[in-house]
Structure 1
Amino acid sequence: MQLSLAAVLAEAARRSPEHVAIVTDRERITYAGLWQDGLRHAAALQSLGVSPGDRVALLAGNVTDFARCYYGVLAAGATVVTIPPMLSPEEAGYLLSDSGASLVLARGEFAGLARAAADSSGVPVRTLGEPHRPDALEPVVEASEPLVSYVSRAPDDVAVVFYTSGTTGRPKGALLTHLNLVMNATVNAFDAHPLSGDDVVLGCLPLFHTFGQSVAMNTTFRVGATLVLQERFDPDDAIDLMRAEGVTVFDGVPTMFVRLAEAAARRDDAPSLRFCVSGGASLPVVVLDRFEKAFSTTLYEGYGLSETSPTASVNQPLFGTRAGSVGHPIWGVEVEIARADVDERVALLKTGEHGEIVVRGHNVFAGYLNAPEATAAAVVDGWFRTGDIGFKDAEGFVHIVDRKKDLIIRGGFNVYPREVEEALMRFPGIAQVAVIGLPDAELGEEVCAVVVPAEDGGVDTAALDAWAREHLGKHKYPRRVEVVTDLPLGPSHKVLKRELRARFGGEN
């Protein structure tokens, strides 16, 4: 049996050749044009010695070159390794050496990072977007005849290596197969939130990240819709793009929805969107409500990880929505709750019981690269253990309580930061909040709330303390409040709680 993720773009080009695939501030390119570019890039890569199964690192932002190279690598039968541009040379170098990449493709603005990262391993670098450079890929592409068709692969062959954030040590390379990613794009596009070729999707999510790559790009291309790319997220520019390009769908992470709602409150021209999808982190219900009112839309919160391609569950029109939940499992995927204190097997719990979220289905990855022990610990009895704590309610909606590692144990009582954050977000004047546990000699851990004030003022910490005491249990309300101008964000715009714990608690 043969299957390739490259077919996502190839079939869109066959069915809708003249339809616009990508819009940027520099160009508009049709599906036929984008696919021919992909086939020409594939031929160029072959001429540079890239063979089926080789790993090619891609270092680029939200530009057309990302899609050209991504599908070019796949069309050549190789595997894509995406490198976040904000890494240090040492961090990027580790990803190159660990992945065994044979070539790095880097946009010109990241060429310095690519070379510094590749120095230690001797991996060759080809730059993009600056054809005059001696190491530019463009001359090789221009001299190459496009492949007649893409090199197909087996469904279980690895299409993409996504590196996890490394919150518990060195990043691990999650191996995503062609079947994983084709199925995730297909189910997202035709089942979870049906799209059509008439839809216009705003792509603010980083394409190097699994959410932006799979849910925004691959899902959009799966139906032949149009993807409008924004290189760097800016809420006011995003609203302008929505209006100028007739955007109907927006995928984002909670921090984006917070800033878009704030921007919409300053202006009176927020467009009406057909629907939006939030993922990557927990979305406070108060933010969901603000955004839906500002953009006259329905916002569907979902849940997934790099290891699940990424979508595992999401609020869907078929089942209705439930604020504060991450909806139902997507088609063909099971999401259940297991005992978190039993590691050697998966012991499923009953409805309503709290435990570790486990996932089984076509979206579960093939394992971690070069890490058999980590793979064995993560995939048990055919289920992927997510490390997240949650429960399923009587109607089958999945609820995320918190990350297992973020759980605060104060004086022997469990405190789930998500619950405290939801409560504090209802206090007037707070734009964002992150709740963390800090070391305490008497209680083990103490609850600390790190808050970002709304744009129009500050936060009265004494009033917040009184309000929290009234609305939260005695073991839950934060005894310490820190006011900051912004929260540290990772490559996927997730709040980096480990940095907050280091800053305010002296954690190493």
Structure 2
Amino acid sequence: MNNAVRLIWEGAEKRPDALALREDDRCWTYAELRCGVQGAMEQLRERGIAAGDRVLVVVPTSAEFVLAYHAILAMGATAVTVNPLCTSRELAHFVEDAGCSAALGWHEDAAAVRATATDFGMDLWLLEPGAVATTGGGRPAEVDADDAAVLLYTSGTTGAPKGAVLTHDNLVACGAALNEALDLSPEDSMGTALPLFHVFGQAAVMFTAYAAGGCLSLQRRFDAAGLLQMAADQQLTGIAGVPTMWNAMLHAETDLTAADLVRLRLACSGGAALPLEVAKAFKDRFGAVVLDGYGLSETTGAATFNSLANPRKEMSVGRALPGCRLAILDEDRRELAPGGTGEVAISGPVVMREYWDRPDATAAVREGEWFLTGDIGRMDEDGDLWIVDRKKDLIIRGGYNVYPREVEEVLYGYPDIREVAVVGVPDDRLGEEIAAVVSPQPGADIDPGELRAWLEERLAAYKVPRVYQLIDELPKGPTGKILKRGLDRESISTAGDRPSRATSSH
């Protein structure tokens, strides 16, 4: 069977009574999960959905997402999973671009998806807890491994969002590779509050849990102390989150200690660079090793990971996952020797099939076997990868290249800093100046002059920010990833060394 839902079917055959899914006080065994997916398949058929259709899914992290999503795939249809916070205008773009014929929404905050369904004459199924039938029959549709399973729209920072076509094989390969890298077993249980519409939660967490035959535990809305409590109560062996989540859990008001989390052996981070200081402090407080990896929507959220089997190297995102290959390419797209800095390229079964209906955009990110990531990195002789920065985030200050991530890593070592973003702002003399937008720890008072002096002892002079701005909260995307494009750069450029207070623009 090529259909990606075979992981659930296999789990139901091998371990029907093993726990497969948890949300709050609700739980499903593998046998019950298969029945639930079958029930959702029948409900979707009754609504006229068939193989080959594309279904807009505007549903938050929930058990109902898991059931309906797998039912769409099981029918041979394609799930178009998007942020439930999208506006009607944004949803209209997805519907028009993907050619959706039906939509799934959530019973709360459904105005935008309801309006979109009305405007396009689509059937709309509003899900709520218990909305999916608990019994059903039928087997998954026969599909080719290269058939589209999901369309994931990229963030659209350069033009309109593009739909990355992930195949059934992509999803299964992602789960298998991470399952092997993390050395998971059916006894493992992974918890997360990540949005399942996003590639990290959907592919790198959900499919990894089911590739292992383990259990997936969900927290619908992220709550730092609550997620730690869930890990203790359910004796989770792993948690997955983005760096801002680890930071929030690290500073959560909770009495839990490492003794309460004795089974928690894996803390999996992704979505953005993980500050090393946060990882060290989390292990000191809760005992779990935070390992991060690297991937994009176009690579099914997976490409590298730091394995417990290999020595951890500072700031590295690890080595290529099983079945994947990495290369560092120069501007002429030739492979560089170990140690060279250039564009990160990836090949392997996790690389998307294409950008939906955009052959030119697809061709622009292909070079032979390689997918061109747009990220700048370097790799050592062992194959360990360092992501230096995004191409578009590179700051050129007076002719010197400055990579924000390097500066941010150093800034996270300053004890009064909770979160930070380093960006380039226009400068008449130098072209660009380096700015640090800082969110202090609660109750902390940061003096920019003192912070700059501290940095000057740790960085080359040309890398030290000259502009500082204090901000209560950095803007974040739906996964909790810091969004630099949400910062008001005009106000930042006038802040100078003054300890000014600003608000973010989203």
TM-score normalised by the shorter chain: which range applies? over 0.9
Normalization by structure 1: what TM-score? 0.93
- Which residue of the partner structure matches residue 172 of structure 1? 162
Query: Is 1:11 matched up with 2:2?
Result: no
- Segment drifting more, 397-406 vs 37-46: 37-46
Give the counterpart of 1:267 among 242, 255, 262.
255
- Which residue of the partner structure matches residue 392 of structure 2? 405
Shift of 1:505: 5.2
Query: Is 1:232 matched up with 2:221?
Result: yes
Give me the whole-angstrom Cα distance separating, in 2, the residues matched to 1:297 and 1:255: 17
Give the counterpart of 1:458 among 424, 431, 445.
445
> How many equivalent pairs are there?
492
AA aligned opposite 2:193: C
Give me the whole-angstrom Cα distance separating, in 2, the residues matched to 1:316 and 1:443: 42
AA aligned opposite 2:124: V
Query: Is 1:211 matched up with 2:200?
Result: yes
- Segment drifting more, 37-46 vs 60-69: 37-46
Give me the whole-angstrom Cα distance separating, in 1, the residues matched to 2:15 and 2:357: 40
> Helix, strand or coil: the match of 1:276?
strand
1:184-228 superposed Cα distances (whole Å, 9 cap, x missing partner): 111211x11021222121121111110001122111122221211
1:461-472 to 2 correspondences below 5 Å: 461-472=448-459
Question: Does the CA-based 8 Å contact 2:167-2:353 persist in structure 1?
Answer: yes
- Which residue of the partner structure matches residue 384 of structure 1? 371
Give the counterpart of 1:298 among 267, 275, 289.
289
Give me the whole-angstrom Cα distance separating, in 2, the residues matched to 1:432 and 1:352: 30
Give the counterpart of 1:490 among 471, 474, 477.
477
AA aligned opposite 1:38: V
- Which residue of the partner structure matches residue 147 of structure 1? 137
- Which residue of the partner structure matches residue 360 of structure 2? 373
> Helix, strand or coil: the match of 1:109?
coil
Question: Does the CA-based 8 Å contact 1:203-1:217 persist in structure 2?
Answer: no
Give me the whole-angstrom Cα distance separating, in 1, the residues matched to 2:70 and 2:390: 34
- Which residue of the partner structure matches residue 134 of structure 1? none
1:275-324 superposed Cα distances (whole Å, 9 cap, x missing partner): 11111101111111111211212221100000001110111123232231
1:419-498 to 2 correspondences below 5 Å: 419-498=406-485
Give the counterpart of 1:317 among 281, 291, 308.
308
- Which residue of the partner structure matches residue 287 of structure 1? 278
1:442-492 superposed Cα distances (whole Å, 9 cap, x missing partner): 111110001111124221222101112222212111111111111111122
Q: Percent identity?
A: 39
Shift of 1:147: 3.2
- Segment drifting more, 194-203 vs 302-311: 194-203
Going from structure 1 to structure 2, the CA distance change for 1:503 and 1:207 (only over 3 Å counts) comes to farther
- Which residue of the partner structure matches residue 248 of structure 1? 237
Question: Does the CA-based 8 Å contact 2:204-2:300 persist in structure 1?
Answer: no
- Which residue of the partner structure matches residue 500 of structure 1? 487
Normalization by structure 2: what TM-score? 0.94
Structure 1: runs of 5 or more not aligned: 132-136
AA aligned opposite 2:382: E
Give me the whole-angstrom Cα distance separating, in 2, the residues matched to 1:255 and 1:117: 32
- Segment drifting more, 235-244 vs 270-279: 270-279
AA aligned opposite 2:177: V
Shift of 1:423: 1.1
Question: Does the CA-based 8 Å contact 1:172-1:369 persist in structure 2?
Answer: yes
Shift of 1:384: 0.6
1:316-355 to 2 correspondences below 5 Å: 316-339=307-330, 341-342=331-332, 346-355=333-342
1:10-32 superposed Cα distances (whole Å, 9 cap, x missing partner): 11111111112111124111111
Shift of 1:146: 2.4
Shift of 1:148: 2.2
Shift of 1:326: 0.6
> Helix, strand or coil: the match of 2:93?
helix
Shift of 1:338: 0.4
